[in-house]
Amino acid sequence: MKLRIVNERGHTAYAKERSAEFAARCRDGGLAVTPQRTAIIEALLASTDHPTAEHIYAAVRRRYPHISLATVHRTLETLCRIGEARKVTLLHDSARYDGNLGPHHHVVCVRCHRIRDIEVSGLRQVLETDAALGGFTPLGWSLEIQALCDKCRRKEPGGRVASKGRAA
């Protein structure tokens, strides 16, 4: 298996494609397409750092100054419920959201909470063929690697961190 950080330049094309299809997917799912919902999904898709509802609220509020934080929270929960977004991690005090619905995983800095998308080639094959799951049939999976980013690691005395060498 190989790990690879997802190229942020490729994210732009993906975001444009998802934005263009958003209205049709909402209508197909029986959800009204409002300017606020569109602005929220566009802000989420424009972000590569898995924003909190508060960060999305700040971005959307520039265009819609009367939108409330409660509306942003409700809309993000609705987007998660209909499969247009997902919550990334429970490691943080507040939910982080991801508009990238393609197969990928995350590496999370345990100090500054920066999140990057990663691809893990071969993971699907391991999970779908490995008998080590003891009779469980995988329905989905999400890998989250907890780490220190380069910036936080440089702040450590000596710039090094002892490896724990253990799975969470």
The answer, yes or no, to whether residue 165 has pLDDT greater than 60, is no
HEC letters along 61-97: HCCCCCCCHHHHHHHHHHHHHCCCCEECCCCCCCCEE
Residue 168 has a pLDDT of 44
- Cα 144 to Cα 134: distance, rounded to the nearest angstrom: 22
Encoded amino acid at 153, one letter:
R
Instruction: Enter the tokens of residue 6.
Output: 């997802």
Domain ranges for the chain: 7-87
Residue from 23, 136, 166, 49 nearest 58 by CA? 49
pLDDT digits (tens, 9 = 90+) for 96-115: 888 887 778 888 888 888 88
Which residues, other chains included, contact 91 with Cβ-Cβ below 8 Å and sequence gap of 6+?
108, 110, 113, 144, 146
Topology of domain 7-87 in CATH is: Arc Repressor Mutant, subunit A (1.10.10)
pTM of the predicted structure, to 2 decimals: 0.69
The answer, yes or no, to whether residue 47 has pLDDT greater than 60, is yes
